[in-house]
Amino acid sequence: MAPGLEPGLVSQHVAICRLPPSEVDPEFVLWGLRGVDGQAQLLGQRYGQGKPGLNLTNVRSLALPFPRLDEQKRIAEELSLLQAQANRLGQWQETSRRELNGLMPAILNQAFKGEL
């Protein structure tokens, strides 16, 4: 699950939202729903306790800004590139963390032997 996103559950209540492809880029919509405002709307609309959900009325009431289609595509592409960079940085950070954790016992060993 992506950081900061609520877990999703699949139930027997599933609907397909068809957006006009001549006006809306699906990737742009996805980024919009993953964003702070989109998440606030989704979480604000959910109902129920055990498995909170959304109904079609909730989904229809979601409001996202829709610039021109070419601008939506440009924004979605830029966000995808930034996400890929963030993923690479996260992998680099994890590799560095593992390497440092591997070095720590040797450093401590030298420190306690007075070899530093």
Range of the domain at 74: 26-112
Give the pLDDT confidence of 56-91 residue by residue, as tens digits: 888 888 899 999 999 999 999 999 999 999 999 999
Read off the tokens for 84.
């890929």
Asked if the structure places residue 86 within a domain, the reply is yes
In a domain, 90, yes or no: yes
Q: Are 100 and 108 in contact (CB under 8 A)?
A: no
Q: For 73-82, which contacts have Cβ atoms below 8 Å and span 24 or more sequence positions?
A: 73/25, 73/27, 73/28, 75/28, 75/31, 76/25, 76/27, 76/28, 76/30, 76/31, 77/27, 79/31, 80/27
- Per the structure block, which two tokens stand in for 109? 């060993």
Global pTM value: 0.68
Domain contains 18: no
Total domain count for the chain? 1
Compute and round to an integer the Cα radius of gyration of the chain: 22
Domain presence at residue 7: no
